[in-house]
Amino acid sequence: MAVQAVESRTSVPSAAAPFGPAVALSCRECGERFELGPSFACTSCFGPLEVAYELPAGDPEALRRRIEAGPANIWRYAPLLPVPADVADRPNLEPGLTRLVKADNLAAELGVTGELYVKDDSGNPTHSFKDRVVAIAVEAARAFGFTTLSCSSTGNLAGAVGAAAARAGFRSCVFIPHDLEAGKVVMAAVYGGDLVGIEGTYDDVNRFCSELIGDPLGEGWGFVNVNLRPYYGEGSKTLAYEICEQLGWRLPDQIVVPVASGSQLTKIDKGLKELIALGLVEDRPYRIFGAQAQGCSPVSRAYKDGHDVVRPVKPDTIAKSLAIGNPADGPYVLDIARRTGGAVEDVDDERIVDAIRLLARTEGIFAETAGGVTVGVTRKLLENGVLDPALTTVVLNTGDGLKTLDAVAAGPTATIRPSLEAFRAAGLREQ
């Protein structure tokens, strides 16, 4: 479908519109606007496209009440998303409204004196934040008449697409690197769609999908993170919405976000700015920090070197969900970190595993490797005096540790005979 330029609209779409308050696609680089369609790049400058809105105007308190009266999932924020008003009534996985855990035990371990929270998105239907973004992409796929849902994935997205497609009645065919963790492969395959392993890295998989879009073989396919990417990315805004609502409609002072492509971090910033513009939260400074694994840290490296350009790298880390060597939104992550007074940092695999164990031991949250990255980077930022321990801080855990079991070695404390004498001899009672 060709991308058509449009003039800015002044009227708010009707409640029956398939994209709700969305009015156009807008180029992040040159600002040119285009009709809403399955497009992801500006035809003038090749910059990335994102959804532009005419958001609800009027009484912020009335909008707050409307949101709070909505369903206990991301569709409570439908008035702020590119979805139809009746989206909650359609077959979907109903992701979102996951726990915001007040992490006092972790705070004590890290020396945090202010409030520390973990936004635990492992509680989503397929146990990662990807259910949020896929839910929005599914609605766009419906609107454009696609029959097959597809994606390139480091694992979590493949499972989310497979599950969402099964629930919504789409065929699915997803593509992954051939060497993903076994748990993620099983979770992507179990929903009955086609799962294709590609020999190479995620970046190789992504390039292949871009070629498939332009081939007759891809006719009728919606690639959630390629030709549906502008809509898909908007799902990450709901993390920002939920965090602020769960904090009593206030902004966190600091937030630590894992960086793979960088889209999640940029959309969280977009969501926070929208809440401010709508008067739903007080307008005050906040700082956003990006977290990467040292074995795939092109954005962190660019930040530390003072560069605006992110140089691609070949990933080599246990944090495979973050192993994107050429992150599309990397330059925008740099802009946001610098604008908000944040930073982008990385940790090695050993510290990732230590952080997974720390979060599990202190708060009972078993994070996948990406969660180990955010907790590990949080600890490192505190040690280096970059993160303020006295402020309200939110750390994201974006997936379940059961998906990355190979990263952490654990087993029984002891194996004994079934007798009290054996238990006493093991000395466990005194520990």
The per-residue pLDDT for 229 is 96
Helix/strand/coil for 302: helix
Helix/strand/coil for 337: helix
CA-based nearest residue to 387, from 299, 272, 255, 251 = 255
325-338 burial: b if 16+ Cβ within 10 Å, else e: bbbbbbbbbbebbe
The per-residue pLDDT for 210 is 87
E-state strands within 121-231? 148-152, 171-177, 194-198, 221-223
- Specify the higher pLDDT residue, 1 or 210: 210
Q: What order do you get walking across the sheet with 287-293 strand by strand?
A: 99-102, 116-120, 393-397, 254-258, 287-293, 343-347
- Work out the mean pLDDT of the chain and round it to a whole number: 93
The per-residue pLDDT for 181 is 84
The per-residue pLDDT for 430 is 58
Helix/strand/coil for 356: helix
The per-residue pLDDT for 5 is 52
| CA distances, 424 to each of 75, 77, 216, 413, 420 (Å) | 54, 55, 70, 14, 6
CA-based nearest residue to 254, from 374, 78, 372 = 374
Q: Mean pLDDT over residues 417-429, rounded?
A: 90
Residue 15 has pLDDT above 60, yes or no: no
Instruction: Output phi, psi for 395, to 5 deg.
Output: -115, 135
Q: Mean pLDDT over residues 25-53, rounded?
A: 96
The per-residue pLDDT for 298 is 98
The per-residue pLDDT for 135 is 98
Q: Mean pLDDT over residues 317-344, rounded?
A: 96
Task: Note the Cα 186 to chain centre separation in Å.
Answer: 21
Q: Which DSSP string do the residues of 231-297 spell out, in sequence order?
A: HHHHTTHHHHHHHHHHTTS---SEEEEE-SSSHHHHHHHHHHHHHHHTTSS-----EEEEEEETTB-
Provide the pLDDT confidence category of residue 213 given band limits of 50, 70 and 90. Answer: confident
Residues near 285 by beta carbon (within 8 Å), at least 6 away in sequence: 253, 340, 341
The answer to whether 378 and 117 are in contact (CB under 8 A) is no
Residue 372 has pLDDT above 80, yes or no: yes
Provide the pLDDT confidence category of residue 4 given band limits of 50, 70 and 90. Answer: low
Q: Which DSSP string do the residues of 32-52 spell out, in sequence order?
A: -EE-SSS--B-TTT-PBEEEE
CB atoms within 10 A of CB 354: 17
Q: Mean pLDDT over residues 289-315, rounded?
A: 97
